Amino acid sequence: MAASKNSTIPRIMSGFLGLPLRHQPWPPSMAVALHLDPAQLVEEEKTPQYSPRRFFPTRLGQTLNGRYQVVTKLGYGSSSTVWLARDLYRWRWFQERYVAIKINATRHSSAKKLAKDELAVLGHIAWANPRHEGWHFVRKLVDSFVVDGEREKHQCLVFDPLREPLWLYCRRFTGAVIPPQILKIIVQMVLQGLDYLHTECHVIHADLKPDNVMVKVEDPSILERDARDEHGHPLPQKHIHGRVIYLSRNNYGQPSVATGVVQITDFDLSVTGDVPQTGCIQAEIYRAPEAVLDAGYGYSADIWSLGVMLWDLLEGTKLFEYASRDQPTSEYDDQTHLAHITALLGPAPSDLLAAGRRTSKFYTPDGNLKNPKLIPADFSFENTLTHVSGEGKRRFIDFVRKMIAWRPEDRMTARELLKDPWLHKDFPQG
């Protein structure tokens, strides 16, 4: 049936009458922020291949999509910035609601594809099976929209705000490491989330690391506090070529609860596990051997990354430090990585090497590393662990060996790992 030409009037009147009953935008701040040196690189300017034209010129106080008023900056990456915003689509008698908005940079065609892929994955994750226990431990999309930039459109993804990534959460504890009894609870939440992604969503995260597991906000009032602080006492800003680079305000201090609920985040590199996948994935030091060799990967690549990142949380160090303590280096090297894996696990299986498209770069035809001198003599699970001992240490090593294995098929699934004794029992130390 054709709509009457007057059919829009009720909708317009309803929106007009409802507007005064909604939360209203805050007025522009009268506080004057200090200006940073224009020559000093800050925030997203320090990321690789930064170009200001790739990023949406977000300003504090502006309202996006007619609904979200930006109140402070939460963070940044090489392809996005993240902002805290007030949701104005709330009745005035309801408490303020804050959201986190990820605004993707879309100057390059690859970035556009990643933004579209991430949106599709997030939509799938949100509704695959909300009854699964792991659904609670993955971040869900709240809303999405597009804004017009200086030259192109930018995809915006809206989420509930989270407190902080695990690498920062570690610093809340003595020695900047998470005690085993708390770590066990966090690992169970991550494994539940991975089981949901792998078995219900058929999604490989492909970039699991401490940055991409975040702790939920335990008290929403800390968001209100930071928003008001930024409005009344803004952090220093960098003004350059008509743009403003804001500093992130994302340190909420000591949590009010001992163990926070965590969620797996950042699905911009995620892929389906229903078809064979090849290519380079994962952050370098968390990269599974099949990804280094380009031998094809599946769900177990996420399991490898989780096993490796446990050292960040339990020990405050990286498992794969590529040089000796007297010869530190910041450079990642594939062959040194493989050499350290060899020290932990023994020689690489011949079938894995045969499947690798990059194997010949690192191995001789008979399956030996081209530079065996890189294999450290004293590198082992035992030698890298200082915060656990006795039976607890032995059980922990048994646990991580089920994740850190050469062959993808030799690693346990997230669901199988959830049954491991280390997660559920306290073992004597010493």
Answer whether 160's CB lies under 8 Å from 99's CB. Answer: yes
Answer whether 248's CB lies under 8 Å from 238's CB. Answer: no
Between the alpha carbon of residue 120 and those of residues 203, 209, 263, 269, 392, the distances in Å are 11, 22, 19, 12, 42
**Is 274 known to be catalytic?**
no
Residue with tokens 């050469």: 406
E strand spans, 23-134: 63-64, 68-76, 80-87, 98-104
Token pair of 224 as six digits: 């209100």
Measured CA to CA, the distance from residue 354 to residue 376 in angstroms comes to: 24
What is the end-to-end Cα distance of the chain in Å, rounded? 79
Between the alpha carbon of residue 55 and those of residues 58, 115, 244, the distances in Å are 8, 13, 11
Q: Is 429 helix (H, G, I), strand (E, B) or coil?
A: coil
Give the closest residue to 142 by CA, choosing from 215, 188, 211, 89: 89
Measured CA to CA, the distance from residue 182 to residue 262 in angstroms comes to: 12
In one-letter notation, the amino acid at residue 117 is: D
Catalytic-labelled residue, pool 207, 268, 302, 420: 207
373 is in an annotated binding site: no
In one-letter notation, the amino acid at residue 41 is: L
Residue with tokens 């900056």: 73
Beta strand 80-87 with 68-76: parallel, antiparallel or unpaired?
antiparallel
DSSP state of 91: B
Please list the residues that pair with 237 across neighbouring strands. 35, 246
If one counts every other C-beta atom within 10 angstroms of the C-beta of residue 416, the result is: 13
Answer whether 268's CB lies under 8 Å from 281's CB. Answer: no
- The catalytic residue positions are 207
The annotation places the binding site for ATP at 102
The annotation places the binding site at 102
